[in-house]
Chains A and B, each alone.
Chain A
Amino acid sequence: MLEAREISKSYNVDTPSTSLREAFERLPDRIFFSGREERKRLFWAVRNVSFTVRQGEAIGLIGRNGAGKSTLLKILSRITEPTSGEVDLYGQTASLLEIGTGFHPDFSGRENILLNGVLLGMSRREMRTRANEIAAFAELTDFMDTPVKYYSSGMYVRLAFAIAANLEPEVLILDEVLAVGDIEFQQKCFTKMDELRKHGCTIIFASHDLGSVKRVCDRALLMDGGRLIDSSHPEQVIESYLELLREQSHSAVC
């Protein structure tokens, strides 16, 4: 289960200094104008978003590029702090924001399963007992001792998803990671997600693939400009998303 209460996130638009010289050049500014907050131009990537996901529920997160989906997922995964607001996360969370983060090309499949699992918060013992299961799910049993640098991109995706899906977390956060696998493997992932939910796993799934949102989720959230603008049955939300896109392309033409 997960509960987000009025979370917002702002970024400073002015790029922070990246070299010591720039930092020194800005020093007088910072000393003399530090009290003047309005000098900072803020960009609100997420504005006042509240929602609850019940245990065993899967929600899809849709919206245009730059709508704030990824920032929201980053906050839920603790990669970045919200500027204000709170999130309650119930139980262990596993988040897969990118395929194969933390994989080392020189390590074998088995070694990467161990490393990745521990990075995602599991213990080595648990990972050792699950390694064969993960390899079977990823259909990579014969390649477990091959360094992953020799894997094809499909094999890479399968391994990464198999690890996250087999952790059996209470909350699973996915950001557009299934798009790369082939249809057969995608089907397998959907089945796995259904199975996880039956065991009480809460899933949050951001995707541009509206079909898979419809397939996986009981509810969808639509974001635009950092705001949550719709939340209901996937079919309905997808309809209002398409409406939003139509409006936009219409105003672009006129």
Chain B
Amino acid sequence: MTAPGGRAVSAPLLGHGEEPTVFELSAPGRRAASFRTTGVPEWSAEELIPADELRSEPPALAEVSERDLVAHMTRLSHRQYSVDLGAYPLGSCTMKYNPKVCDEAAALEGFANVHPATPASHAQGWLELLWGLAHALCEVTGMGRATLQPPAGAAGELTGLLIMRAWHQAQGRSPGKVLIPDSAHGTNPASVSLAGYQTVSVESDERGLVSPDVLRKYLDGDVAGMMLTNPNTLGLFEERIVEVGRLVHDAGGLLYYDGANLNAIMGITKPAVMGFDIVHLNLHKTFAVPHGGGGPGAGPVAVTTELSEFLPGPLVARADDGTFYWEQPARSIGRTHGWHGNALALVRAWAYILSNGSEGLRQVSEAAVLNANWLLSRLRGTYAVPYGSPPMHETVVSTKDAPGTNGQLRALDVAKRLLEKGFHAPTVYFPLVVAEALMIEPTETESPETIAALADALLEIAREGAEVAALAPTTTPVGRVDEARAARRLVLTWDAARAEGPGVSAPA
């Protein structure tokens, strides 16, 4: 094979007509729904509900045939890029291939059709799975115990910070600050604020890393802890992490691991070995749960044994006779989800772990790091590498000083031009500490042929120059989208669009 499997230039998604909304496809009285025969008496609404609570007419929804609905959604799906279509090197998001066997597992009736309040004695398979997954995540991170409730990474962050808070309070302390590096994801400071802490940003050093010398300036008795991603968002390993951890611990704080980048280190090292106390994981990144167009994800939180009594409950425990039961941690901060978290995402992650096993997870990380390094080696000389160290699973380059572009090549334009060349774009303008940043995470599931084609496309864009890139994209379902107009003339519903009248969707 010499052709790149992850390049999507042949995709038939590139139609240019507008797709009407489902409301425009509606005709009064048309409908798809049908209901089962039940034999239940057919009382009228007036016989069942007090008259003053009844609405005069039902809320207007779409009114379409099943056939038209299928056509509408299928056409919309053709206007959508996805991992199944081609490479999706969106830095920090770990858009790896999502195995189909995991989808099938999640669709099994014994998982998908079980009420969350089913007594534990009738849901032993579910409890066994949750117990096994929590244990495996603890093994990968070196932690003592885990909650699977948080439904996404940011929810995991808030959960972890609230555990940090409860631990301090249990010791009669109430420090007010949490430190985060200036390269951190935006969710970190937002979660810190929601947890009632003040964010203190710690500047990266000239190598893009947290420096113990810089850190010392910020450490005092008011520090509750520090949040770190390792490797960090520049894709660089914080090699002085042990010293960083010791300094934070000596100041009375806890060390929090943002697991966004765990895909680089499975079986290589563990957050616990680095000195972390609290870890959240993004199962939709590292453990191949599909991203669903923006979610659902899953953001389990694992903690040291010392902190486990603060975890959200209930947790699954195993009795001596091998049966599983729910138990409430002694000083639980309380539940963080209405039920047990995004449970079907947890099924997928468990199937993924079973598929890979101990060796496989390490090979995943090795291949992810190999791909990122090999990609970067092909981009060097054209795209500036702001920090010298070799990257781990992702790499950050700048478009600013690409040779022959007079400093005019913008990251946004490179991203748009790359769409025309059959790839999803990398993350752009992040981390904030790099000008005109492209943050590229190829993941381990792309072949060398695909990585080479991606690199070639990026090099070609630089050769074509800033002016060509600025015109892109033109072959995609729509061209460059007017974001400023969307914010200025806020149209969030079809009803608002109709009220705006013609002009919103009229062609120029």
The answer to whether A and B interact is no
Chain A: residues with CB nearer than 8 A to chain B? none
Chain B: residues with CB nearer than 8 A to chain A? none
